[in-house]
Amino acid sequence: MNRFDYVRAGSIAEAIAAASEPGAAYLAAGTNLLDLMKGGLTHPTRLVDVTRLPGLDRIERLPDGGVRVGALVRNADLAHDADFARAYPSVAEALLSGASAQLRNAATTAGNLLQRTRCPYFYDPASACNKREPGAGCEALGGETRGHAILGWSEHCIATHPSDFCVPLVALDAVVEIEGRAGRREVPLEAFHRLPGDTPERESVLEPGELVTAVRLPGEAAGFAAHSRYAKVRERTSYAFALVSVAAALRLDGGRIGEARIALGGVALKPWRAREAETALVGAAPDAAAFRRAADAALAGARPSGDNAFKIELARRLIVRALTLATAGTPERMPALPASVFAPASGDPLHA
């Protein structure tokens, strides 16, 4: 790990001023940042510790029935907040399907949004990577690409965004609150992360020094609470990133779908909202044929970036699965294996 200056910020203004210098990075829990620094993948010359900033660790109800989640709210605290989990159960399920209990106790709301890809070529300093070194090339192309992107990728980068949390958030129209030198602004989460294009080193719309202060969910997103699920296919049942994941939320209206929300994880360099699939479902009966039509619409633009054509069909099937689960209804209690596709419907343990 390189040497750096450590600055503990006492106010948002102080933090922004300290982090606007070239080479500076914000430190919250550091669960991803320290991992990257230990691997020699990022080399900040100054860490601005924001963990003491007042007021950013709160979950606040809003007048419209929505909720504002402070940037420093820990993943575990949000997932286990009973009111939050009741209103936004797919978000709680996604949170609990990610990482380990230790990491969820530390990792923050804003940190989850800003975590870096787990592309193995990004993580290997001996491999060329346009994210680490713009213009160096992408050694993932033509390499081991089983887990890479199938949507929105470019010849400069085929990595995926690893977040579970962001997938239902983007489906439910979450908004990111940002403070910077020029003041406060808001960005829909759907527009927060950037697709790689020819500048894969630019991963979000944040400008130097800008600080995420909160993530907001609108009140109307709680209207999906009765039919919301998150489903995640991964290489092992727990403590693994998604190969493909799906957040599905439905508002049922007299046996028909009144409104649908669908987003995918593990398929692109951003959480992927599938609006065509949502439109395809409106007015339809919630059955397998309608779900398959929606899945086809969601993946219409997908193409493999290597040996990962299977992810396209996997994503289609997982959309059908997540919509089927959502139609059956949000479970009373969080499943023992959150988001697992192996969880039995009966509630019996998977393993004896």
Partner 1 sequence: MTIPLSLTINGTRREIALDDPRVTLLDLLRERLHLTGSKKGCDRGQCGACTVLVDGRRINACLQLAASLDGAEVLTIEGLAEGDALHPVQAAFVEHDGFQCGFCTPGQIMSAVGLIREAQAGDDPERIREAMSGNLCRCGAYLGITEAVRDAQSRMNQGNAA
Answer yes or no: are the C-beta atoms of 75 and 107 closer than 8 Å. yes
CB of 49 to partner 1, least distance (A): 5
Contact pick of 1, 182, 300, 328 for partner 1 (by CB under 8 A):
1
Write down the residue that tokens 């820990």 correspond to: 74
Q: Which is nearer to partner 1, 88 or 192 (CB)?
A: 88
Contact pick of 47, 71, 151, 260 for partner 1 (by CB under 8 A):
47
Residue 204 main-chain phi, psi, to 5 deg: -140, 175
Q: Which is nearer to partner 1, 49 or 201 (CB)?
A: 49
Closest CA to 321 of 301, 292, 279, 298: 292
CB of 158 to partner 1, least distance (A): 24
Closest CA to 214 of 352, 17, 12: 12
Q: Which is nearer to partner 1, 72 or 264 (CB)?
A: 72
Residues 6+ apart with CB under 8 A from 104: 74, 75, 76, 79, 95, 96, 98
Strands in the chain per DSSP E: 5-8, 24-27, 46-49, 59-61, 67-70, 175-180, 183-188, 211-217, 228-233, 244-253, 256-265, 272-273
Q: Is residue 239 at the binding interface for partner 1, with CB under 8 A as the rule?
A: yes
Residue 340 main-chain phi, psi, to 5 deg: -70, 135
CB of 336 to partner 1, least distance (A): 4
Contact pick of 12, 15, 26, 30 for partner 1 (by CB under 8 A):
30
Spatial separation of the C-alpha atoms in residues 141 and 155, rounded to whole Å: 8
CB of 235 to partner 1, least distance (A): 13
User: Sheet containing 67-70: which strands, arranged edge to edge?
Assistant: 59-61, 67-70, 211-217, 175-180, 183-188
Size of the site for partner 1 (CB under 8 A): 35
Helix, strand or coil, per DSSP, at residue 233:
strand
Q: Which is nearer to partner 1, 88 or 272 (CB)?
A: 88
Contact pick of 8, 68, 118, 317 for partner 1 (by CB under 8 A):
8
46-54, 137-145, 158-166, 178-186 -> range binding partner 1 (CB under 8 A): 46-54
In the chain, the amino acid numbered 250 is L
Q: Which is nearer to partner 1, 33 or 260 (CB)?
A: 33
Contact pick of 20, 42, 51, 199 for partner 1 (by CB under 8 A):
51
Spatial separation of the C-alpha atoms in residues 26 and 7, rounded to whole Å: 10
Q: Is residue 124 at the binding interface for partner 1, with CB under 8 A as the rule?
A: no
CB of 75 to partner 1, least distance (A): 12
User: Sheet containing 244-253: which strands, arranged edge to edge?
Assistant: 228-233, 244-253, 256-265, 272-273
Contact pick of 17, 21, 34, 284 for partner 1 (by CB under 8 A):
34
Of 10-29, which residues contact partner 1 (CB under 8 A)? 27, 29
Binding mask 76-115 toward partner 1 (x if CB under 8 A, else -) reads: x---x------------------xxxxx-xx---------
H/E run at residue 7: strand 5-8
Residue 16 main-chain phi, psi, to 5 deg: -65, -40
Q: Is residue 162 at the binding interface for partner 1, with CB under 8 A as the rule?
A: no
CB atoms within 10 A of CB 123: 16
Answer yes or no: are the C-beta atoms of 150 and 304 closer than 8 Å. yes
Q: Which is nearer to partner 1, 33 or 69 (CB)?
A: 33
47-55, 150-158, 204-212, 281-289 -> range binding partner 1 (CB under 8 A): 47-55
Answer yes or no: are the C-beta atoms of 141 and 305 closer than 8 Å. yes
Of 319-348, which residues contact partner 1 (CB under 8 A)? 336-338
Q: Report the interface residues with partner 1, using CB under 8 A.
A: 1, 3-6, 8, 27, 29-31, 34-35, 38-39, 47, 49, 51, 76, 80, 99-103, 105-106, 237-239, 336-338, 349-351
